[in-house]
Amino acid sequence: MHLIKVDPRALKENPDRARQTKSTPQADALLLATIKAVGVVQPPVIAPETDGGNGYVINAGHRRVKQAIAAGLQEIEVLIDEAANDNGAMRSMIENIAREPLNPVDQWRAIERLVALGWSEEAIGIALALPVRQIRKLRLLANVLPAMLDQMAKGDMPEERQLRIIAAASLDEQREVWKANKPKKGDPETSWQSIAQALDRKKMYARDASFGDDLAKAYGIAWVEDLFAPADQDSRYTTDVEAFLGAQQEWMTHHLPKKGVIAAANSFGQVVLPPKAERVYGKPGKGDCAAMYLDREGKVQTVHYRLPEPRATKGKPGTGNGVVGGDASDHEDGGFGKSRPDVTRKGVEMIGDLRTDALHEALGRAPIEDDTLMALLVLALAGRNVSIQSGASDDVYAAARMQRHATRLVDETGALAFDRGTLRAAARAALTDTLSARQNCSDSGIAARVAGAAIGADNFLVNMATEEFLACLSRSALERACTGTSVLPRPRARETRAALIERFKDERFVHPAATFAPGAAEVSAWLAKSEDLDGDDVADERGDEPDADVGPEDVEEDSEVAEADDAYRVAAE
């Protein structure tokens, strides 16, 4: 064999070549990019024509020749071989079969070698037709402990998530963990899961930080980029949890609003307000206070509350002119006005908030079958808080969130393109933004109750044995709450509350009124309401007169329901 330079356009294809199937456009694009960047690295092999012609036939390297022409090369180097009796058929087959692609470990080492020779990450990406982000991933993984790399090079590769955790740890940490978990003689595989668990550390993300670069520098926080995170979000993180929380605390100190305090959080990540403080769930008033605290993820959260007004001291106990000392629940059913309900209005609002939080937690974490998920979407659209319009929604923020969920399922051309995991995540997020049990305009009604019961949202309700909630119960309801526990009702309501709080300080207490499963009467009323709508449709079709107490707007609404039902029946048929 000897090397010469020829015009690639003068070479003829071998009809007996082994690779007859067209290569993929992606593979051709990769080869074209490398030829444009560094030329033809491996010269094709050619041989003189055997049919009396004076040209050359390609024995090996048809794709290289084709892409060299596409790259506009006027000359390429080739190896001339003697003509074979089989027209190069055996050589072509061996050249395409007897080769092995580089394993990931060798790719990492090769990239590090190129960087040491002065190649930039951008240049390597252009030459290999890979995004720079992928090059950086490989460079990150090249920092894995050499002993682990040698094991990976044998084909014993961990999962991508495990690799990410291993590469993020220091070499000293990797070395210690490898000593304890490396495979024994005769064991072909490594317990990468055990290694990843030993090296995994809690991450605090920059996107959750309220402080800026100045405080990050002051606390010695060095952000590390998580190269495996989605490209559309800030993926920087730190494992120095103490420094992160310290910077958050200092930021809160400098940004406290007027009448603001820094509050602690309990074991469930909920804010602990001052005694007798009443949390404000809607828009705060001028006299309300603010409490800033850190939740479980280290994020800064703000809630508003109001303190009770000083109580009047007129009259004497028992005169009906006023109450001195104690609290109202200690004097229930004692002749002071109407008897209070089992759960006050505030208690009902708290239950709505707690239910909503538990429901959203369950939608994010509980196992949900696909059929159940579709049923939940139907329930969500039947909620009282959902309005479907032909134009843009008045709720700009809700519309933006729903649009964000939808865009996760659509590619750049506007076509649906998603895997099942992406669909499930989008469905859960849409349900979280739709279903609510809060006692305001966002209440989904019984739909949220049915949905929560279906996915076990009761398991996500927090401990309700708190002074704030138990103070919302009447004496009789408080005593019934003791049923089935070791707590006996006390002479005073506040003592009973204190006993319940002490009893459930390390456990979870859920009031029966807060569970999701609706009662039989509630379900029957809900179903009956739907049947009434169907009956009204039939009446409209017969031309019956509407009831006297039904207004024109109700008749219009019923006709719209009837039209929708007719359209649904036609589509079903």
CA 549 to chain centre: 49
State the pLDDT at residue 105. Answer: 73
Mean pLDDT, the chain, rounded, equals: 76
Render pLDDT for 322-359 as a digit per residue (tens, 0 to 9): 444 444 444 333 333 445 678 888 888 888 888 888 88
Cα angle at 499 between 493 and 501, to 5 degrees?
Answer: 105
Contact (CB, 8 A) for 349 and 439: yes
Higher pLDDT, 527 or 317: 527
To the nearest whole percent, how much of the chain has pLDDT over 90? Answer: 9
pLDDT digits (tens, 9 = 90+) for 430-487: 788 788 888 877 788 888 889 899 999 999 999 999 999 999 998 888 888 888 888 8
Q: What tokens does 466 get?
A: 């708190």
Contact 244, 274 (CB under 8 A): no
444 and 431 in contact (C-beta within 8 Å)? no
Instruction: Count CA within 13 A, CB hemisphere, residue 473.
Output: 26
- pTM (2 d.p.): 0.34
- Pick from 208, 364, 359, 356: which is nearest to 281 by CA? 356
What does the pLDDT average to over 513-518? Answer: 90
The secondary structure element, H or E, covering residue 56 is strand 56-60
DSSP conformational letter for 505: S
Distance CA(139)–CA(75), nearest Å, equals: 35
**353: closest CA among 270, 429, 471?**
270
**Nearest C-alpha neighbor of 379 from the set 335, 417, 435:** 435
The Cα-based distances of 148 to 116, 138, 190, 191, 487 in angstroms read 22, 15, 10, 12, 57
What per-residue confidence (pLDDT) applies to 572?
36
In one-letter notation, the amino acid at residue 13 is E
Query: Does the structure show a pLDDT above 90 at 209?
Result: yes
- Write down the pLDDT at residue 208: 92
Distance CA 167, CA 142 (A): 8
Measuring CA to CA, which residue among 230, 232, 169, 237 is closest to residue 206?
237
Give pLDDT, residue 459. Answer: 92
The band of 60, judged by pLDDT with boundaries at 50, 70 and 90, is confident
Cα 377–383–387 angle (5° rounding)?
95
- The CA-based dihedral angle spanning residues 198, 199, 204, 207, taken in that order and rounded to the nearest 10 degrees: -130
- Overall residue count recorded for the chain in this entry: 573
Helices (H), 315-408: 345-365, 370-381, 396-407
What residues contact 171, with CB distance under 8 A and at least 6 apart?
143, 145
What phi and psi, each to the nearest 5 degrees, are found at residue 159? -70, 165
Range with lowest mean pLDDT among 34-38, 386-390, 408-412: 386-390
Percent of the chain with pLDDT over 70: 74
Q: Are 120 and 106 in contact (CB under 8 A)?
A: no
Lowest mean pLDDT among 198-212, 412-426, 510-524: 412-426
pLDDT category of residue 490 using cuts at 50, 70 and 90: confident
pLDDT band at 301; cut points 50, 70, 90? very high
- Give the Cα separation of 201 and 183 in Å (integer): 23
At 313 the three-state DSSP class reads coil
The pLDDT assigned to 544 comes to 45
pLDDT band at 13 (very low <50, low <70, confident <90, very high): confident
pLDDT above 80 (res 12): yes
Q: 13-27: buried (b, 16+ CB within 10 Å) or exposed (e) per residue? A: ebebbbeeeeeeeee
C-beta separation of 95 from 48 below 8 A: no
**CB crowding 302-313: b at 16 or more within 10 Å, else e:** bbbbeeeeeeee
14: its two tokens: 């071998």
